Amino acid sequence: MNPIENMQQVLEQLQQSGNLRSLPSVVYDGRWVTNAEGVRMLNLASNDYLGLANELSLREEFLSEMTPAAFEPTSSSSRLLTGNKTAFVDLENQLAQMFQTEAALTFNSGYHVNTGLLPAVADANTVILADKLVHASLIDGIRLSAAKAVRYKHNDYAQLERLLRQYAPNASQIIIVTESVFSMDGDVADLPLLVQLKKQYDNVLLYVDEAHAFGVRGAQGLGYAEETGTMGDIDFLVGTFGKAAASAGAYWVGKRIIKDFLVNRMRTFIFTTALPPMCAQWTGFMLRHFPAFAERRQKLAELTSALSRGLEAKGYPALSQSHIVPLMVGDSKEAVRLAQCLQRKGFYVMPVRPPTVPEGTSRIRISLTADVMLSEVEAFLSNVPMASEVMKGGGR
């Protein structure tokens, strides 16, 4: 069999299992999407959690401050060559001040952070202890590193504590890796407990990915670490601008010495052309508005509570503690069928299937945004069948 025939066979197997993916063909119009058949649907699959990407008044305000001279659509180089534009320096100073840390560093994407940071700081004498459900980008970063890696059961801190006792005496360093708000189940890590465990050892560092918490959690929208009062105790506190902040790129905040180390060792930072400076300017503009978005964060919390209660009343497992709410199905084909059914009824939701989630835990991942109305959540719930009608394979 030649390579192309092998690819075809793999695609056919994915089709048979209900796990074949394709790029969606839709037109976006604010919080609505229209598919190729002309069906207009409420977008319940976006990571624009605060609804800022559709806020024209913010764009108008930003553009009113922009001049042709200030508008830089390209960096043309990496930060270490000629791409270290003033916009990046200003944004990093702004982040350090917001997080009350010594330093900050920005990146082209969350994937760049998670695939580059761990290989930069971990050597063959490092042990990485990662939550079983961390994002694929973190898994890739772990694989690219020279460290020994052990995955502990999701949010099982008793197991994590046993692993720390086992590996701490002989490892040069241990890095605990977790998300704060988990991207598929919408539940949260116990950050205060993780900090407590970390402080029991001199050679343990803590890595927390706030991709789905930044902008949404905390009094100033800085994330779940802000909400739990743990920001200053996390060595690698990272997050993205491409979700609630309605921009592009990602960040790390922490100690100055770590920043200097990453600038010298992190390949995904060193060997890439920097983002357009205008992206950094837009991000800085949005961050200045973060305190004013408290009402949006509160509304999002209220919508989440209503959706979670409604799904639980229909018999679905109550996993979520955030604005990401999984409607657990189990079987991949059934998840696809249910998503298509809900789309026909005017709700744009997407099925999440293996390998993104474990076998038997396919689900509809509902991402609420602050521009959704409570009446629309209620309408969606009225179209969701009882769990007993759809769940096959049961979920986790």
Of these residues, 85, 112, 212, 323, which one is catalytic?
212
Q: Considering 112, 243, 259, 299, which one is annotated as catalytic?
A: 243
Instruction: List C-alpha distances in Å: 343 to 41, 346, 371.
Output: 7, 5, 19
Give, in order, the Cα–Cα distances in Å from 357 to each of 135, 167, 183, 326, 335: 10, 28, 10, 11, 12
Length of the chain equals: 396
- Hey, how many other C-beta atoms are within 10 angstroms of the C-beta on 357? 21
Handedness of CA 338, 339, 340, 344 (dihedral sign): positive
Give the DSSP letter of residue 290: G
Catalytic residue among 179, 187, 331, 334: 179
Question: For this structure, is 259 an active site residue?
Answer: no
Beta-carbon contacts of 55 under 8 Å, excluding residues fewer than 6 positions away, are 246
179 is catalytic: yes
* Edge-to-edge strand list for the sheet holding 236-240: 103-107, 250-254, 236-240, 204-209, 173-179, 126-131, 148-152
Please indicate whether residue 47 is annotated as part of the active site: yes
**Cis amide bond preceding 355, omega within 30:** yes
DSSP SS3 for 64:
helix
Q: Is 183 a catalytic residue?
A: yes
| CA-wise closest residue to 157 among 125, 184, 202, 196 | 196
Instruction: Say which of 85, 135, 198, 323 is annotated catalytic.
Output: 135
Catalytic annotation on 235?
no
| Marked catalytic residue, from 183, 308, 320, 332 | 183
Task: Tell me which residues are annotated as active site.
Answer: 47, 135, 179, 183, 209, 212, 243
